[in-house]
Amino acid sequence: MLETELNPKNEKWFSDIEAPQIVNDPNLISWNDESDLVIVGLGGAGIAAANEALDQDHSVIAIDKTSGGGATERSGGIFYAGGGTPIQKEAGIEDTPDNMFNYLIQETGNIVKKTTLRKFCKTSPENTQWLMDNGVQFNSSYYETKTSYPGAGYFLYHSDNSLVPTYMEKALPAPRGHRGYEEGPFKPIGVGGTIFYPLKKSAITKGLKVFPRTEARSLVITAEGRVIGIKALMLPSGKISDKHKKIMSKAEFFQMLIPQNMPGASIFQIIGKFYVNRAQKIERNYREVIYIKANKGVCLSAGGFIFNREMIEEYAPNYIDGMPLGTSHDTGSGIRLGQSVGGKTDHMNRVTAWRMINPPMAFANGLVVNKNGIRFGNEMVYGATLGDAICEDHNGKAYLILDKELFAKAKKQAAVSLPFQRDSARVLMYFNAKKRNTIEKLAKIYNLPSKNLSNAIDRYNIAAKGNTNCEFGKSSKDMKEIKPPYYIMDISINSTMAPLPCLTLGGLVVNEETGEVLDQANNEIPGLYAAGRTAVGICSNIYVSGLSVADCIFSGRRIGQNLK
């Protein structure tokens, strides 16, 4: 889906980003500061660009609405890497760039050029070592069983579909989910700090200058169209800035108190939003306009737009009922900055939706059907693959079917899962599940065609017995014959007991060799670069765990290596 040119005057702009300031003589602007590279948004992609540019002896200034981190810092801290990383080798895992490519091409399709994907795979071991050289720690403790997130004490796992038989036909499975290592109490969110904070520390040591609590409002360009800087709004340092920081810390505390995919999380998100609104009031009253000159380029790395509900309604209405995943600053500002100077966007309709049903494994041993009572895929696939099928192909509706034996097994498995996995499963089982003795009565709960549902269960049972191959490539060892009484759980996008976390994947189109933003005629906009979820990248087709962070590192470093 390619979007036509959009600008701040358009009624569907849905952003505070302003039209660019055009200057005939850059010397007439009273610049507050300058550097070779100016980074807008200091998350995973921004900090990677900063480190690489500094390694190449460029000066760098980064601005951020907070003090940095973005969705990377708030994530589960998974870096997708393979092809023979130091951690894979330490764990005795064999993998090659070609094998990694053969797997990933099944996920990425033609979202990027094959040469770009091959480069991503070929440089994956190098990028892993680069992270380690900049202070990031990993660990080779290998979790062999398929799961959505590894248990405490495990840091290397299969964070994708590589163990699914249909994917194994084209590539040998290898664990590529590298979880950032940290000691102390285990937590499933905020682990991304294990990747971001060492990189930030490294960049500051190299000379990075950070402008916190600063928001870009427009680009500054020459009459010829070269981007030469930014106009931004900054809170002055001192008591006001400190007060704003404390309020935002409270907002982030409540927003991160429990994982966003947990029932009840919306309450804490509302409290967090209350503090965000207080912080915004301070911004409106005290921010000052500053100008920062970019001698070689501006990097747009301000995340996606999942928290801009008007943009979601416009570009990805299938996901409007999903739960935003990331930070409240993922409003599409970086994308709009690029568009304000003619930047082209693509795949703005692509959103990843995470319907995780393993653990407990017993959930994935059951079957999932759509509103028509028809089974539509392999339940063992990674949660984002399942979520994509639900939202893109089945109007956001899906139902998980178990029997008494699987339901009891799920309870036991949930009890020994990580707390956030355990609690999600328990809410589904105790507050969502409905039990019936016949398929006809089961179908009536959600008005499913009973004949279709009966046929789906019959076909599933035949494959579970090993009498025929599953039509969706699910191994018979991962299936279990479903017998009455039956249980059904609503796992649709609008299920109140099973919130579906969502993250946008589309953005600005870039030159895949340099990271430069392209205009409507596919020409590079001089002085403008984009990375991470602000740009189209490796994971813009579909997501597997850690691929976004890996793309942030890959695309961020690419900018630092190609400044002109």
Does some domain include residue 553?
no
- Rounded to 10 degrees, what is the CA torsion of 51, 52, 55, 56? -140
Q: Which tokens in the block code for residue 26?
A: 């850059």
**Does 129 fall in a domain?**
yes
Contacts for 138 with CB less than 8 Å, ≥ 6 apart? 79, 86, 87, 128, 131, 132, 155, 156, 178, 179, 180, 181
Please check whether residue 397 lies inside any domain of the structure.
Answer: yes
- CB burial readout 22-45, b (16+ within 10 A) else e: eeeebeeeeeeebbbbbbbbbbbb
- Two tokens at 175? 């664990």
- Report the candidate in 554, 495, 76, 502 with the shortest Cα–Cα distance to residue 305: 502
The alpha carbon of residue 394 and the mean position of all alpha carbons in its chain are separated, in whole angstroms, by: 22
Contact 376, 368 (CB under 8 A): yes
The verdict on 204 and 331 lying in the same domain is yes
Residue 134 lies in a domain: yes
> Please, how many CA atoms are within 13 Å of residue 490, restricted to the half-sphere of its CB?
18
- Quick one: 302 and 160 in the same domain? no
Q: Does the bond joining 20 to the residue before it have cis omega, within 30 degrees of 0?
A: no
Q: Are residues 417 and 338 in the same domain?
A: no
Q: Are residues 306 and 448 in the same domain?
A: no
362 with 314, same domain? Answer: no
Is residue 461 included in any domain, yes or no? Answer: yes
Q: For residue 243, tell me if it sits in a domain.
A: no
- Same-domain check for residues 384 and 450: yes
In this prediction, residue 272 carries a pLDDT of 87
Q: Total structural domains in the chain?
A: 3
Start-to-end CA span in the chain (Å): 31
pLDDT in tens, the chain (564 residues): 445 578 899 999 999 999 999 999 999 899 999 999 999 999 999 999 999 999 999 999 999 999 999 999 989 999 999 999 999 999 999 999 999 999 999 999 999 999 999 999 999 999 999 999 999 999 999 999 988 899 888 999 999 999 999 999 999 999 999 999 987 666 655 689 999 999 999 999 999 999 999 999 999 999 999 999 999 999 988 898 889 889 988 887 887 676 555 567 778 888 988 998 999 899 999 999 999 999 999 999 999 999 999 999 999 999 999 988 888 899 999 999 999 999 999 999 999 999 999 999 999 999 999 999 999 999 999 999 999 999 999 999 999 999 999 999 999 999 988 887 888 899 899 999 999 999 999 999 999 999 999 999 999 999 999 989 999 999 999 999 999 999 999 999 999 788 899 999 999 999 999 999 999 999 999 999 999 999 999 999 999 999 999 999 999 999 999 998
- Indicate if 366 and 506 belong to the same structural domain: no
CA distance 345 to 392: 20
pTM over 0.85: yes
For residues 266 and 295, give the distance between their C-alpha atoms in angstroms, rounded to a whole number. 44
pLDDT attached to residue 254: 84
* CATH label of the domain that carries residue 34: 3.50.50.60
Q: Are residues 302 and 400 in the same domain?
A: no
What gap in Å lies between CA 361 and CA 148, rounded to an integer? 10
DSSP 237: T
558 domain residue, yes or no: no
Q: For residues 321 and 351, is the Cβ–Cβ distance under 8 A? A: no
Same domain flag for 418 and 370:
yes
Together in a domain, 50 and 88: no
Q: What is the pLDDT of residue 262?
A: 58
Q: Which of 432, 463, 442, 484 is nearest to 365 (CA)?
A: 463
Distance CA 92, CA 458 (A): 42
Count of CB atoms situated within 10 Å of the CB of 239: 8
- The tokens for 364 are 């994935």
Residue 4 lies in a domain: no
Alpha helices (runs of H) in 109-181, residue ranges in sequence order: 114-122, 124-133, 165-168
Give, in order, the Cα–Cα distances in Å from 299 to each of 21, 39, 50, 130, 337: 17, 5, 9, 20, 11
Give CA angle at 116 (115, 122), nearest 5°. 85
Point out the domain boundary residue: 426, 456, 490: 490
- Picking from 439, 461, 490, the residue at the C-terminal end of a domain is 490
348 in the same domain as 360:
no
- The domain that holds 463 is classified in CATH as 3.90.700.10
> What does the pLDDT read at residue 187?
61
Residues 485, 428, single domain; the answer is yes
Domain boundary among the residues 490, 518, 546 is at 490
Give the range of the structural domain holding residue 292, as residue numbers without chain letter. Answer: 21-71+190-235+287-352+502-532
CA atoms within 13 A on the CB side of 462: 11
